[in-house]
Amino acid sequence: MTPDRTPPKSSREIERKFLVKRLPADLKKHRSRRIEQGYLAVNPDGTQARLRRAGAACSLTVKRGRGVARHEWEIQLSQSQFQTLWPATKGRRLRKTRYDVPFGKFTIEVDVYEATNQGLIVAEVEFENGDDCRRFQPPDWLGREVSGQARYSNSQLARE
Give me the active site residues, please.
39
Q: In whole angstroms, what is the distance from residue 14 CA to residue 135 CA?
A: 13
As a whole number of angstroms, the distance between CA 64 and CA 74 comes to: 12
Pairing of strands 48-54, 106-113: unpaired
Closest CA to 115 of 62, 70, 160: 160
Total length of the chain: 160
